[in-house]
Amino acid sequence: MMKRADSQLLVIFGASGDLTGRKLLPALFELFIGDMLPEHFAILGAARTGYTDEEFRAEQRKHILEARGNKETNSAELDKFLRILFYLAFDSTNSAEYVKLKDRIHSLQQQENIPDRIIYYLATPPLMYELVPKYLQENGMNVADTEDGWRRVIVEKPFGTSLETAQELNKHLCRIFEEEEIYRIDHYLGKETVQNILVLRFSNGIFEPLWNRNYVDSVEISASETLGVENRGKYYDGAGALRDMVQNHLMQLMAFAAMESPAVFDPEPIRDEIVKVFRAIRPYTIREMNEWVVRGQYDGYREEKNVAPDSNTETYVGMKFFIDNWRWSGVPFYFFTGKKLPEKSSEIVIHFKSTPHQLFAGQCSGSSCNKLVIRIQPDESITLRFGLKMPGAGFTVKQVGMEFRYDSLSKTHLPDAYERLLLDAMLGDSTLYARSDALEASWRFIDPILHHWKEEGSKNLFFYEPGQNGPIERMMLGADSMGAPCDSCG
């Protein structure tokens, strides 16, 4: 059961943009329906577009209804929600304009009986991640005016484009806000299945004793998409799959799968364990980068809108790496992610070691015959695959699976990732948000690869046809399923 947060105000910068209409306000409406928003609460959207309150509400009504799809929506309930939604047209790139924002905040706090507690959500382009906090500080809006008040800031990815830029952004934000006031959001961590990794591991005695180098053959973490870059060509061509998916989403998933049990289930001990995992990743040598990191680009990418005709940006990454600690020494971990692949899916596959001797006909004879498949999207589920005797005479073995699907909990509302993460920020729970030291440790692993690729240019950039599972060169990594969804693996 989700808790209810204390009364507060949410200010969304970039409120006329896609993220607000497609994700944030639909998530906030679901929290409203579930009676989980604070008793005294208001949402103030702030952007350049010249909306009035009513015009902004009308626009967001359309977005919320569209996001809900076939769900039945109570019109009176939606009207009630929209009444706590307000808007201010102002120029966030001009420090002098923040007086208007400050006045509107004070006015809303008095009007809605809201105490001195404010969350700033930066749903803006990354270049504003430094400007907005800077101007908040210049206008005295980064610190609370009362003893029981607070300020929090939520920052969307990307958190820098390299170790150096991530460190600069962290230093900049930490000069304006305290570390515990900064919430670096990764929507993957808001997904129910991702959170369940920790529960699955640390609340079940049947899994944790096997979750180590003695019984695990390898670990694969994948995120595949069927679409190309669509309308994100300009952004994506400057980012690529390594920055866009591996540095944040896949690294965080890996940390949840590989971390040690925290002493207590509180935000800081959990985040401490995540940092330890990142610091234990073995750095690549140049030779290992060439042999264990495969970058690919789908045919036709260079013809996409706003993509350079000679672009070397990767749309596919396959990686093999090792975590040098007591639990995982010698166990290969794999990342696979890419665009224009056969299926949209994200999953973690724990490949357990096979039996030392094959006794039965049909028995799986690979290095890993038992798999635990944690499917994050679509069809959130957890499946255990193992061998059983086929009916009839003899002892012929067939691989089967025991599966739990979240949609079987038909009476339970599965919160969207942004619902969970927004509520956590309101509650002051930073468990599922990235801490600065973890962010920098992640970049220390990724940065040398980017530098190496920059030096190599188009060398070792492999191409693949849309609809394939990536470039054929991925096979040299030696993974069990090569990042292909594990619907029938085993």
> Distance between CA atoms of 81 and 84, rounded to whole angstroms?
6
Sequence letter at residue 121:
Y
> Distance between CA atoms of 181 and 252, rounded to whole angstroms?
20
Residues 6+ apart with CB under 8 A from 242: 295, 314, 317, 446, 449, 450
Other CB atoms within 10 A of residue 128 CB: 17
Find out whether 225 is annotated in a ligand binding site. yes
398 phi and psi angles, rounded to 5 deg? -130, 140
Other CB atoms within 10 A of residue 106 CB: 12
Residues counted in the chain: 490
> Distance between CA atoms of 462 and 475, rounded to whole angstroms?
12
Task: Output the CA angle 469-473-478, nearest 5 degrees.
Answer: 85
Distances (CA, A) of 43 to 30, 54, 61, 412: 14, 14, 14, 27
Task: Output the CA angle 44-49-51, nearest 5 degrees.
Answer: 60
CA 298 to chain centre: 23
In terms of phi and psi (left: phi > 0; alpha: psi -120 to 50; beta: otherwise), the region of 388 is beta
Find out whether 171 is annotated in a ligand binding site. no
> Distance between CA atoms of 267 and 430, rounded to whole angstroms?
6
Question: Two tokens at 426?
Answer: 């309101």
Find out whether 435 is annotated in a ligand binding site. no
CB 218 within 8 A of CB 480: yes
- Selecting among 63, 172, 249, 451, the annotated active-site residue is 249
Query: Where do the DSSP E strands lie in 207-315?
Result: 216-224, 293-298
Query: Please, which residues bridge with residue 373 across strands?
Result: 349, 383
CB 466 within 8 A of CB 314: no
Find out whether 244 is annotated in a ligand binding site. yes
Query: How many CA atoms does the CB half-sphere of 275 hold within 13 Å?
Result: 15
Find out whether 68 is annotated in a ligand binding site. no
Q: Which helix (H) or strand (E) holds 442?
A: helix 436-456
User: What secondary structure does DSSP assign to 46-90, as a single string?
Assistant: EESS---HHHHHHHHHHHHHHHHTTS---HHHHHHHHTTEEEEE-
Is 106 part of the annotated catalytic residue set? no
Q: Which helix (H) or strand (E) holds 22?
A: none
Find out whether 344 is annotated in a ligand binding site. yes
The secondary structure of residue 263, as a DSSP letter, is: S
Kindly list the catalytic residues: 249
Binding-site residue positions for substrate: 187, 191, 225, 244, 339, 344
Binding-site residue positions for NADP(+): 48, 157
